[in-house]
Chains A and B, each alone.
Chain A
Amino acid sequence: MPTSTRASRLTLRFGALGYLAALLAIPVAMVFYRTFEHGIGPAWEAVTTPPAQHAFWLTCTMVAIAVPLNTIFGIGIGIGLAIVRGRWRGKTLVSAIIDLSLAVSPVVVGLALILVYGNKGWIGSTFAEHGVRIIFSTPGMVLATIFVSLPFVVREVVPVLREIGVDQEEAASTLGASAAQTFWRITLPAIRWGVAYGVILTTARALGEFGAVAVVSGKIEGQTETMTLFVEQRFQAFDLTGAYAASVVLALLALVVIATMTLLDRRKEQ
Protein backbone atom coordinates (compact mmCIF):
# COMPACT_ATOMS: atom_id res chain seq x y z
CA MET A 1 0.00 0.00 0.00
CA PRO A 2 1.72 3.17 -1.19
CA THR A 3 0.00 5.41 1.36
CA SER A 4 1.15 3.44 4.36
CA THR A 5 4.62 2.74 2.96
CA ARG A 6 6.31 5.75 4.43
CA ALA A 7 4.83 5.37 7.88
CA SER A 8 5.46 1.65 8.08
CA ARG A 9 8.97 2.06 6.79
CA LEU A 10 9.75 4.62 9.47
CA THR A 11 8.17 2.49 12.17
CA LEU A 12 10.16 -0.52 11.08
CA ARG A 13 13.39 1.42 10.90
CA PHE A 14 13.06 3.04 14.30
CA GLY A 15 11.74 -0.17 15.79
CA ALA A 16 14.76 -2.11 14.61
CA LEU A 17 17.23 0.60 15.58
CA GLY A 18 15.64 1.10 18.98
CA TYR A 19 15.67 -2.59 19.66
CA LEU A 20 19.34 -2.86 18.75
CA ALA A 21 20.22 0.25 20.72
CA ALA A 22 18.44 -0.84 23.88
CA LEU A 23 19.79 -4.36 23.83
CA LEU A 24 23.22 -4.00 22.34
CA ALA A 25 24.61 -0.62 21.41
CA ILE A 26 23.93 1.25 24.66
CA PRO A 27 25.21 -1.47 27.00
CA VAL A 28 28.36 -2.01 24.95
CA ALA A 29 28.94 1.73 24.73
CA MET A 30 28.54 1.92 28.51
CA VAL A 31 31.26 -0.70 28.93
CA PHE A 32 33.61 1.38 26.81
CA TYR A 33 32.65 4.53 28.71
CA ARG A 34 33.20 3.01 32.15
CA THR A 35 36.52 1.50 31.06
CA PHE A 36 38.02 4.76 29.94
CA GLU A 37 36.23 6.94 32.52
CA HIS A 38 39.49 7.67 34.29
CA GLY A 39 41.66 7.68 31.22
CA ILE A 40 43.48 4.93 29.48
CA GLY A 41 46.03 4.32 32.28
CA PRO A 42 44.01 2.24 34.78
CA ALA A 43 42.42 0.23 32.00
CA TRP A 44 45.79 -0.56 30.48
CA GLU A 45 47.16 -1.59 33.87
CA ALA A 46 44.19 -3.85 34.48
CA VAL A 47 44.65 -5.80 31.26
CA THR A 48 48.42 -6.12 31.51
CA THR A 49 48.54 -7.91 34.84
CA PRO A 50 50.00 -11.43 34.53
CA PRO A 51 46.62 -13.19 35.01
CA ALA A 52 45.04 -10.92 32.40
CA GLN A 53 47.80 -11.57 29.90
CA HIS A 54 47.64 -15.26 30.60
CA ALA A 55 43.89 -15.24 30.03
CA PHE A 56 44.35 -13.38 26.76
CA TRP A 57 46.85 -15.89 25.41
CA LEU A 58 44.80 -18.82 26.64
CA THR A 59 41.81 -17.52 24.71
CA CYS A 60 44.01 -17.13 21.64
CA THR A 61 45.21 -20.72 22.08
CA MET A 62 41.62 -21.98 22.26
CA VAL A 63 40.78 -20.18 19.04
CA ALA A 64 43.98 -21.32 17.35
CA ILE A 65 43.22 -24.97 18.06
CA ALA A 66 39.43 -25.11 17.83
CA VAL A 67 38.99 -23.08 14.64
CA PRO A 68 41.29 -25.07 12.30
CA LEU A 69 40.04 -28.39 13.65
CA ASN A 70 36.39 -27.41 13.27
CA THR A 71 37.09 -26.05 9.81
CA ILE A 72 38.60 -29.30 8.57
CA PHE A 73 35.96 -31.35 10.31
CA GLY A 74 33.21 -29.03 9.12
CA ILE A 75 34.21 -29.27 5.47
CA GLY A 76 34.54 -33.05 5.67
CA ILE A 77 31.24 -33.62 7.41
CA GLY A 78 29.59 -30.96 5.27
CA ILE A 79 30.52 -32.81 2.11
CA GLY A 80 29.20 -36.01 3.65
CA LEU A 81 25.98 -34.39 4.74
CA ALA A 82 25.04 -32.49 1.61
CA ILE A 83 22.13 -34.63 0.51
CA VAL A 84 23.01 -34.71 -3.15
CA ARG A 85 26.19 -36.60 -2.42
CA GLY A 86 24.43 -39.88 -1.89
CA ARG A 87 22.68 -41.30 1.09
CA TRP A 88 24.42 -43.13 3.82
CA ARG A 89 23.31 -44.68 7.04
CA GLY A 90 23.61 -42.56 10.12
CA LYS A 91 23.46 -39.31 8.20
CA THR A 92 20.43 -38.07 10.11
CA LEU A 93 22.11 -39.08 13.35
CA VAL A 94 25.29 -37.16 12.54
CA SER A 95 23.24 -34.15 11.56
CA ALA A 96 21.30 -34.33 14.82
CA ILE A 97 24.46 -34.63 16.91
CA ILE A 98 25.92 -31.56 15.22
CA ASP A 99 22.79 -29.57 15.98
CA LEU A 100 22.89 -30.89 19.52
CA SER A 101 25.96 -28.82 20.26
CA LEU A 102 23.87 -25.73 19.52
CA ALA A 103 20.72 -26.90 21.21
CA VAL A 104 22.20 -28.18 24.46
CA SER A 105 23.15 -25.57 27.02
CA PRO A 106 26.94 -25.11 27.27
CA VAL A 107 26.76 -25.89 30.98
CA VAL A 108 25.37 -29.30 30.16
CA VAL A 109 28.13 -29.78 27.59
CA GLY A 110 30.68 -28.99 30.27
CA LEU A 111 29.16 -31.43 32.77
CA ALA A 112 28.97 -34.14 30.12
CA LEU A 113 32.64 -33.65 29.32
CA ILE A 114 33.52 -34.00 33.00
CA LEU A 115 31.57 -37.27 33.17
CA VAL A 116 33.56 -38.72 30.27
CA TYR A 117 36.95 -37.06 30.56
CA GLY A 118 37.17 -36.38 34.29
CA ASN A 119 39.76 -38.24 36.37
CA LYS A 120 37.12 -40.78 37.30
CA GLY A 121 35.42 -40.61 33.93
CA TRP A 122 35.12 -43.25 31.31
CA ILE A 123 37.96 -42.09 29.07
CA GLY A 124 39.54 -39.64 31.50
CA SER A 125 40.54 -42.37 33.98
CA THR A 126 42.74 -44.03 31.35
CA PHE A 127 44.48 -40.73 30.67
CA ALA A 128 44.77 -40.06 34.39
CA GLU A 129 46.70 -43.30 34.85
CA HIS A 130 49.28 -41.95 32.46
CA GLY A 131 49.38 -38.68 34.31
CA VAL A 132 47.48 -36.71 31.69
CA ARG A 133 44.89 -34.41 33.08
CA ILE A 134 42.10 -33.35 30.77
CA ILE A 135 39.47 -31.74 32.95
CA PHE A 136 40.51 -28.66 34.96
CA SER A 137 43.27 -28.19 32.44
CA THR A 138 43.81 -26.85 28.93
CA PRO A 139 42.88 -30.05 26.98
CA GLY A 140 39.43 -30.12 28.53
CA MET A 141 38.87 -26.45 27.77
CA VAL A 142 39.92 -27.02 24.17
CA LEU A 143 37.47 -29.92 23.97
CA ALA A 144 34.67 -27.76 25.34
CA THR A 145 35.47 -24.95 22.92
CA ILE A 146 35.55 -27.34 19.98
CA PHE A 147 32.25 -28.84 21.02
CA VAL A 148 30.35 -25.58 21.29
CA SER A 149 31.79 -24.07 18.10
CA LEU A 150 31.43 -27.23 16.05
CA PRO A 151 28.30 -26.67 13.94
CA PHE A 152 29.12 -23.35 12.28
CA VAL A 153 31.33 -24.44 9.40
CA VAL A 154 29.12 -27.46 8.73
CA ARG A 155 25.96 -25.38 8.71
CA GLU A 156 27.47 -22.76 6.40
CA VAL A 157 28.97 -25.27 3.98
CA VAL A 158 26.09 -27.72 3.57
CA PRO A 159 23.62 -25.34 1.85
CA VAL A 160 26.31 -24.10 -0.52
CA LEU A 161 27.27 -27.64 -1.43
CA ARG A 162 23.64 -28.53 -2.02
CA GLU A 163 23.17 -25.51 -4.20
CA ILE A 164 26.15 -26.14 -6.46
CA GLY A 165 25.31 -29.81 -6.80
CA VAL A 166 27.67 -32.34 -8.30
CA ASP A 167 27.76 -31.08 -11.90
CA GLN A 168 31.07 -29.29 -11.62
CA GLU A 169 32.67 -32.21 -9.84
CA GLU A 170 31.42 -34.63 -12.45
CA ALA A 171 32.71 -32.38 -15.20
CA ALA A 172 36.10 -32.31 -13.49
CA SER A 173 36.21 -36.07 -13.28
CA THR A 174 35.37 -36.51 -16.97
CA LEU A 175 38.24 -34.11 -17.67
CA GLY A 176 40.60 -36.46 -15.87
CA ALA A 177 40.75 -34.97 -12.38
CA SER A 178 41.22 -37.32 -9.44
CA ALA A 179 39.08 -37.00 -6.33
CA ALA A 180 41.80 -34.98 -4.59
CA GLN A 181 42.33 -32.69 -7.57
CA THR A 182 38.58 -32.17 -7.83
CA PHE A 183 38.39 -31.26 -4.15
CA TRP A 184 41.23 -28.73 -4.21
CA ARG A 185 40.51 -27.18 -7.58
CA ILE A 186 36.71 -27.33 -7.80
CA THR A 187 34.89 -28.08 -4.56
CA LEU A 188 36.92 -25.98 -2.15
CA PRO A 189 37.01 -22.84 -4.32
CA ALA A 190 33.27 -23.21 -4.93
CA ILE A 191 32.46 -23.28 -1.21
CA ARG A 192 35.12 -20.83 -0.07
CA TRP A 193 32.68 -18.11 0.99
CA GLY A 194 30.67 -20.55 3.04
CA VAL A 195 33.87 -21.77 4.66
CA ALA A 196 34.98 -18.19 5.34
CA TYR A 197 31.71 -17.32 7.08
CA GLY A 198 31.84 -20.54 9.02
CA VAL A 199 35.36 -19.80 10.19
CA ILE A 200 34.37 -16.33 11.32
CA LEU A 201 31.35 -17.56 13.24
CA THR A 202 33.43 -20.33 14.78
CA THR A 203 36.06 -17.80 15.84
CA ALA A 204 33.45 -15.53 17.37
CA ARG A 205 31.91 -18.41 19.29
CA ALA A 206 35.26 -19.74 20.47
CA LEU A 207 36.27 -16.27 21.67
CA GLY A 208 33.11 -15.71 23.61
CA GLU A 209 32.44 -19.17 25.05
CA PHE A 210 31.75 -19.05 28.76
CA GLY A 211 29.50 -21.76 30.14
CA ALA A 212 31.11 -24.99 28.99
CA VAL A 213 34.63 -23.71 29.52
CA ALA A 214 33.71 -22.41 32.98
CA VAL A 215 32.55 -25.86 34.04
CA VAL A 216 35.54 -27.83 32.78
CA SER A 217 38.25 -25.29 33.60
CA GLY A 218 37.90 -25.12 37.36
CA LYS A 219 38.63 -21.39 36.92
CA ILE A 220 42.14 -21.49 38.30
CA GLU A 221 43.47 -17.96 38.08
CA GLY A 222 46.52 -17.62 35.87
CA GLN A 223 46.17 -21.23 34.73
CA THR A 224 42.80 -22.14 33.33
CA GLU A 225 41.21 -18.77 32.97
CA THR A 226 40.18 -17.53 29.54
CA MET A 227 39.24 -13.92 28.84
CA THR A 228 35.55 -14.50 29.50
CA LEU A 229 36.29 -16.29 32.77
CA PHE A 230 38.71 -13.53 33.71
CA VAL A 231 36.00 -10.90 33.18
CA GLU A 232 33.62 -12.80 35.40
CA GLN A 233 36.22 -13.37 38.09
CA ARG A 234 37.22 -9.66 38.15
CA PHE A 235 33.55 -8.74 38.37
CA GLN A 236 32.97 -11.08 41.29
CA ALA A 237 36.02 -9.56 43.02
CA PHE A 238 34.48 -6.09 42.73
CA ASP A 239 37.29 -5.03 40.41
CA LEU A 240 34.98 -3.27 37.96
CA THR A 241 37.80 -1.52 36.11
CA GLY A 242 39.48 -4.87 35.48
CA ALA A 243 36.22 -6.46 34.36
CA TYR A 244 35.33 -3.63 32.02
CA ALA A 245 38.82 -3.35 30.59
CA ALA A 246 38.96 -7.07 29.84
CA SER A 247 35.50 -6.81 28.31
CA VAL A 248 36.76 -4.09 26.03
CA VAL A 249 39.58 -6.35 24.88
CA LEU A 250 37.06 -9.10 24.10
CA ALA A 251 34.79 -6.62 22.33
CA LEU A 252 37.72 -5.37 20.23
CA LEU A 253 38.58 -8.92 19.21
CA ALA A 254 34.95 -9.40 18.20
CA LEU A 255 35.06 -6.15 16.23
CA VAL A 256 38.05 -7.45 14.28
CA VAL A 257 36.03 -10.56 13.47
CA ILE A 258 33.02 -8.50 12.37
CA ALA A 259 35.21 -6.21 10.26
CA THR A 260 36.70 -9.23 8.52
CA MET A 261 33.22 -10.52 7.79
CA THR A 262 32.12 -7.17 6.36
CA LEU A 263 35.20 -6.99 4.17
CA LEU A 264 34.51 -10.50 2.91
CA ASP A 265 30.95 -9.47 2.13
CA ARG A 266 32.19 -6.57 0.05
CA ARG A 267 34.65 -8.71 -1.85
CA LYS A 268 32.01 -11.31 -2.50
CA GLU A 269 29.69 -8.74 -4.02
CA GLN A 270 32.31 -7.49 -6.43
Chain B
Amino acid sequence: MAIDVRNVSKSFNGFQALEDVSLSVPDGSLTALLGPSGGGKSTLLRVIAGLEAPDSGEVLFSGEAVTKLPAQERGVGFVFQHYAAFKHMTVRDNIAFGLKIRKRPKAEVRARVDELLALVHLGGWADSYPAQLSGGQRQRMALARALAVQPRVLLLDEPFGALDATVRKELRDWLRRLHDEVHVRRSSSRTTRRRRSRSLSRWRSSTPGASSRPGRPTTSTSGPPTRSSWASSDRSAASGRHGFARTTSRCSRTTRTVRSRR
Protein backbone atom coordinates (compact mmCIF):
# COMPACT_ATOMS: atom_id res chain seq x y z
CA MET B 1 0.00 0.00 0.00
CA ALA B 2 1.35 3.39 -0.93
CA ILE B 3 1.85 6.03 1.71
CA ASP B 4 1.71 9.69 0.78
CA VAL B 5 2.64 12.39 3.20
CA ARG B 6 1.74 15.85 1.96
CA ASN B 7 3.07 19.07 3.41
CA VAL B 8 2.94 17.86 6.98
CA SER B 9 4.02 20.20 9.75
CA LYS B 10 4.10 19.45 13.43
CA SER B 11 5.46 21.39 16.35
CA PHE B 12 5.54 20.70 20.07
CA ASN B 13 5.47 23.67 22.40
CA GLY B 14 7.17 25.86 19.86
CA PHE B 15 9.64 23.22 18.72
CA GLN B 16 9.18 22.60 15.02
CA ALA B 17 9.64 18.84 14.60
CA LEU B 18 8.32 18.63 11.05
CA GLU B 19 8.15 21.50 8.64
CA ASP B 20 6.28 21.06 5.39
CA VAL B 21 7.36 17.46 4.90
CA SER B 22 6.25 15.57 1.82
CA LEU B 23 7.10 11.98 1.11
CA SER B 24 5.93 9.14 -1.08
CA VAL B 25 6.41 5.52 -0.15
CA PRO B 26 5.33 3.37 -3.08
CA ASP B 27 3.24 0.27 -2.72
CA GLY B 28 5.19 -2.70 -1.44
CA SER B 29 8.36 -0.78 -0.79
CA LEU B 30 10.72 -0.74 2.10
CA THR B 31 11.83 2.73 3.00
CA ALA B 32 14.28 3.92 5.59
CA LEU B 33 14.31 7.35 7.10
CA LEU B 34 17.81 8.48 7.89
CA GLY B 35 18.66 11.31 10.15
CA PRO B 36 20.23 12.46 13.38
CA SER B 37 18.41 12.24 16.63
CA GLY B 38 15.89 15.03 17.01
CA GLY B 39 15.51 15.24 13.25
CA GLY B 40 11.83 14.40 13.26
CA LYS B 41 11.99 10.79 12.03
CA SER B 42 9.93 9.40 14.88
CA THR B 43 7.44 12.23 14.68
CA LEU B 44 6.90 11.54 11.00
CA LEU B 45 6.32 7.86 11.67
CA ARG B 46 3.96 8.69 14.51
CA VAL B 47 2.02 11.04 12.27
CA ILE B 48 1.72 8.27 9.66
CA ALA B 49 0.56 5.82 12.33
CA GLY B 50 -1.98 8.25 13.73
CA LEU B 51 -0.31 8.55 17.12
CA GLU B 52 0.23 12.26 16.54
CA ALA B 53 -2.07 14.60 14.68
CA PRO B 54 -0.21 16.90 12.29
CA ASP B 55 -0.72 20.65 12.68
CA SER B 56 -1.20 20.87 8.95
CA GLY B 57 -0.86 18.64 5.92
CA GLU B 58 -2.29 15.29 4.97
CA VAL B 59 -1.50 11.60 5.15
CA LEU B 60 -2.87 9.35 2.41
CA PHE B 61 -2.92 5.58 2.23
CA SER B 62 -3.40 4.38 -1.35
CA GLY B 63 -4.68 7.81 -2.26
CA GLU B 64 -7.20 7.88 0.57
CA ALA B 65 -6.91 10.55 3.22
CA VAL B 66 -6.46 9.00 6.68
CA THR B 67 -5.38 12.12 8.51
CA LYS B 68 -8.55 12.13 10.61
CA LEU B 69 -8.58 8.40 11.22
CA PRO B 70 -7.53 7.29 14.72
CA ALA B 71 -4.56 4.94 15.04
CA GLN B 72 -6.75 1.95 15.82
CA GLU B 73 -8.49 2.18 12.45
CA ARG B 74 -5.48 2.76 10.24
CA GLY B 75 -4.27 -0.80 9.97
CA VAL B 76 -0.73 0.26 10.75
CA GLY B 77 1.74 -1.97 12.51
CA PHE B 78 4.13 -0.06 14.75
CA VAL B 79 7.30 -1.33 16.35
CA PHE B 80 8.47 0.97 19.11
CA GLN B 81 12.05 1.76 19.97
CA HIS B 82 11.60 0.60 23.53
CA TYR B 83 9.46 -2.40 22.57
CA ALA B 84 6.33 -1.24 24.39
CA ALA B 85 5.85 -4.84 25.48
CA PHE B 86 2.71 -5.58 27.48
CA LYS B 87 4.57 -6.48 30.65
CA HIS B 88 1.73 -8.30 32.35
CA MET B 89 1.17 -10.65 29.44
CA THR B 90 3.13 -13.66 28.26
CA VAL B 91 4.87 -13.55 24.91
CA ARG B 92 2.01 -15.56 23.44
CA ASP B 93 -0.60 -13.14 24.78
CA ASN B 94 1.40 -10.18 23.57
CA ILE B 95 1.44 -11.49 20.03
CA ALA B 96 -2.20 -12.56 20.22
CA PHE B 97 -3.40 -9.18 21.48
CA GLY B 98 -4.46 -7.68 18.17
CA LEU B 99 -6.15 -10.90 17.08
CA LYS B 100 -8.06 -11.17 20.36
CA ILE B 101 -9.19 -7.56 20.00
CA ARG B 102 -10.54 -8.55 16.61
CA LYS B 103 -12.34 -11.48 18.26
CA ARG B 104 -10.87 -14.10 15.98
CA PRO B 105 -11.66 -17.73 16.81
CA LYS B 106 -9.36 -19.21 19.44
CA ALA B 107 -7.99 -21.95 17.21
CA GLU B 108 -7.09 -19.44 14.53
CA VAL B 109 -5.38 -17.16 17.04
CA ARG B 110 -3.37 -20.05 18.39
CA ALA B 111 -2.29 -21.23 14.96
CA ARG B 112 -1.33 -17.74 13.85
CA VAL B 113 0.62 -17.04 17.03
CA ASP B 114 2.49 -20.35 16.74
CA GLU B 115 3.38 -19.49 13.18
CA LEU B 116 4.68 -16.07 14.23
CA LEU B 117 6.57 -17.47 17.20
CA ALA B 118 8.42 -19.76 14.82
CA LEU B 119 9.01 -16.92 12.40
CA VAL B 120 10.68 -14.74 15.01
CA HIS B 121 12.47 -17.69 16.65
CA LEU B 122 10.70 -17.39 19.96
CA GLY B 123 9.05 -20.81 19.90
CA GLY B 124 10.46 -21.80 23.28
CA TRP B 125 9.49 -18.54 24.94
CA ALA B 126 5.74 -18.54 24.37
CA ASP B 127 4.89 -18.68 28.07
CA SER B 128 7.62 -16.35 29.31
CA TYR B 129 7.02 -12.78 30.26
CA PRO B 130 8.73 -9.90 28.48
CA ALA B 131 10.89 -9.24 31.54
CA GLN B 132 12.47 -12.67 31.06
CA LEU B 133 13.55 -11.92 27.50
CA SER B 134 16.66 -10.17 26.24
CA GLY B 135 16.35 -6.88 24.40
CA GLY B 136 16.67 -8.51 21.01
CA GLN B 137 14.07 -11.12 21.86
CA ARG B 138 11.69 -8.47 23.08
CA GLN B 139 12.08 -6.56 19.88
CA ARG B 140 11.35 -9.69 17.86
CA MET B 141 8.27 -10.25 19.97
CA ALA B 142 7.16 -6.69 19.29
CA LEU B 143 7.66 -7.31 15.59
CA ALA B 144 5.60 -10.50 15.70
CA ARG B 145 2.90 -8.65 17.61
CA ALA B 146 2.74 -5.97 14.93
CA LEU B 147 2.73 -8.54 12.12
CA ALA B 148 0.01 -10.65 13.71
CA VAL B 149 -2.80 -8.38 12.62
CA GLN B 150 -1.50 -8.25 9.04
CA PRO B 151 -0.99 -4.50 8.86
CA ARG B 152 -1.16 -2.63 5.60
CA VAL B 153 1.82 -0.61 6.70
CA LEU B 154 4.56 -1.59 9.08
CA LEU B 155 6.41 1.23 10.77
CA LEU B 156 9.55 0.55 12.77
CA ASP B 157 10.73 3.41 14.94
CA GLU B 158 14.44 2.97 15.54
CA PRO B 159 13.74 -0.70 16.09
CA PHE B 160 17.29 -1.45 17.11
CA GLY B 161 18.15 1.80 18.79
CA ALA B 162 18.04 0.37 22.30
CA LEU B 163 20.27 -2.60 21.51
CA ASP B 164 24.02 -2.90 21.56
CA ALA B 165 25.92 -2.84 18.29
CA THR B 166 26.41 -6.60 17.90
CA VAL B 167 22.82 -7.52 18.60
CA ARG B 168 21.69 -4.68 16.42
CA LYS B 169 23.70 -5.94 13.47
CA GLU B 170 22.44 -9.47 14.00
CA LEU B 171 18.82 -8.43 14.23
CA ARG B 172 19.10 -6.20 11.25
CA ASP B 173 20.47 -9.03 9.12
CA TRP B 174 17.81 -11.31 10.49
CA LEU B 175 15.09 -8.81 9.70
CA ARG B 176 16.42 -8.55 6.18
CA ARG B 177 16.15 -12.29 5.76
CA LEU B 178 12.70 -12.33 7.31
CA HIS B 179 11.76 -9.63 4.92
CA ASP B 180 12.99 -11.63 1.94
CA GLU B 181 11.27 -14.74 3.24
CA VAL B 182 7.94 -13.04 3.50
CA HIS B 183 8.55 -11.41 0.16
CA VAL B 184 9.32 -14.69 -1.59
CA ARG B 185 6.34 -16.35 -0.06
CA ARG B 186 4.01 -13.63 -1.12
CA SER B 187 5.38 -13.08 -4.52
CA SER B 188 4.95 -16.73 -5.30
CA SER B 189 1.28 -16.09 -5.25
CA ARG B 190 1.60 -12.96 -7.29
CA THR B 191 4.03 -13.53 -10.09
CA THR B 192 3.37 -10.22 -11.67
CA ARG B 193 4.66 -8.29 -8.74
CA ARG B 194 7.92 -6.53 -9.10
CA ARG B 195 10.34 -8.63 -7.23
CA ARG B 196 12.54 -5.83 -6.28
CA SER B 197 10.85 -2.82 -5.02
CA ARG B 198 13.34 -1.42 -2.69
CA SER B 199 14.02 2.16 -2.38
CA LEU B 200 15.95 4.53 -0.37
CA SER B 201 14.82 8.03 0.02
CA ARG B 202 17.61 10.00 1.43
CA TRP B 203 16.80 13.38 2.68
CA ARG B 204 19.25 16.14 2.99
CA SER B 205 18.88 19.40 4.72
CA SER B 206 20.74 21.50 7.20
CA THR B 207 20.55 18.36 9.24
CA PRO B 208 20.33 15.14 7.33
CA GLY B 209 16.96 13.49 7.17
CA ALA B 210 16.10 9.93 7.91
CA SER B 211 16.36 6.76 5.97
CA SER B 212 13.78 4.18 5.39
CA ARG B 213 13.47 0.64 4.23
CA PRO B 214 11.43 -0.44 1.29
CA GLY B 215 8.63 -2.68 2.28
CA ARG B 216 7.86 -6.13 1.38
CA PRO B 217 4.53 -7.60 0.85
CA THR B 218 3.87 -9.12 4.19
CA THR B 219 0.39 -10.29 4.27
CA SER B 220 -2.70 -11.21 2.51
CA THR B 221 -6.08 -11.24 4.07
CA SER B 222 -8.89 -12.86 2.19
CA GLY B 223 -8.84 -12.29 -1.53
CA PRO B 224 -5.82 -11.18 -3.48
CA PRO B 225 -2.79 -10.47 -1.41
CA THR B 226 -2.27 -6.91 -0.48
CA ARG B 227 1.13 -5.49 -0.12
CA SER B 228 2.25 -3.57 2.83
CA SER B 229 4.92 -0.99 3.10
CA TRP B 230 7.58 -1.09 5.74
CA ALA B 231 9.10 2.07 6.95
CA SER B 232 11.73 2.30 9.56
CA SER B 233 13.81 4.95 11.16
CA ASP B 234 17.24 4.06 12.29
CA ARG B 235 19.74 6.54 13.53
CA SER B 236 22.79 4.35 13.23
CA ALA B 237 21.95 3.44 9.68
CA ALA B 238 22.44 7.07 8.85
CA SER B 239 26.09 6.78 9.62
CA GLY B 240 26.32 4.26 6.84
CA ARG B 241 28.66 2.13 8.87
CA HIS B 242 26.23 -0.72 9.04
CA GLY B 243 25.25 -2.07 5.74
CA PHE B 244 21.59 -1.74 6.19
CA ALA B 245 20.72 1.51 4.53
CA ARG B 246 23.21 1.04 1.79
CA THR B 247 22.40 -2.50 0.88
CA THR B 248 18.77 -1.71 0.60
CA SER B 249 19.36 1.13 -1.75
CA ARG B 250 19.38 -0.94 -4.87
CA CYS B 251 17.47 1.52 -6.87
CA SER B 252 17.18 5.06 -5.90
CA ARG B 253 13.73 6.50 -5.93
CA THR B 254 12.46 9.96 -6.04
CA THR B 255 14.25 12.03 -3.53
CA ARG B 256 12.04 14.35 -1.66
CA THR B 257 13.15 17.29 0.27
CA VAL B 258 12.63 17.26 3.92
CA ARG B 259 13.49 20.23 5.92
CA SER B 260 13.98 19.39 9.46
CA ARG B 261 15.25 21.51 12.22
CA ARG B 262 16.94 20.53 15.33
Chain B residues lying within 8 Å of A170, measured Cβ to Cβ, are 51, 71, 78, 80, 84
- Contact check, B72 vs A176: say whether CB atoms are below 8 A apart: yes
Judge if A28 is at the interface, Cβ distance under 8 Å.
Answer: no
Chain A residues within an 8 Å CB radius of B97: 172, 175, 177, 185
- Distance (whole angstroms) from the CB of B148 to the closest CB of chain A: 8
Contact code string A170-183 (vs B, CB < 8 Å = 1, else 0): 11111111100100
- Chain A residues whose C-beta falls within 8 Å of the C-beta of B74 in the assembled complex: 174
Decide yes or no whether A189 CB sits under 8 A from chain B: yes
A164 to B70, CA, bound (A): 22
Q: Among residues 156 to 193 in chain A, which have CB atoms less than 8 Å away from a CB atom of chain B?
A: 164, 167-168, 170-178, 181, 185-186, 189-190, 192
A168: chain B residues within 8 A (beta carbon)? 84-87
Known: A174-B77, A176-B149. A167 touches B72 (CB 8 A): no
Distance, CA A189 to CA B86, complexed state (A): 10
Residues facing A in B21-54 (CB within 8 A) are 49-51
Verify B70–A173 contact, CB threshold 8 A: yes
Does residue B138 face the partner (Cβ distance < 8 Å to A)?
no
Question: Please, which residue of chain A has its CB at the minimum distance from the CB of B98?
Answer: A175
Whether the pair A177, B72 counts as a contact (CB closer than 8 A) is yes
- Contact, CB under 8 Å: B51 / A175: no
In the complex formed, the residue of B with least CB distance to A164 is B87
Would B76 and A174 count as touching, CB distance under 8 A? yes
Query: Which residue numbers of A lie inside 8 Å of B, CB to CB?
Result: 164, 167-168, 170-178, 181, 185-186, 189-190, 192
What residues of chain B have their CB less than 8 Å away from a CB belonging to chain A? 49-51, 70-74, 76-78, 80, 82-89, 97-98, 101-102, 142, 145-146, 148-149
**What 7 additional pairs, Cβ within 8 angstroms, besides A176-B72, A177-B101, A192-B88?**
A164-B87, A167-B84, A171-B80, A173-B51, A173-B70, A174-B76, A176-B98
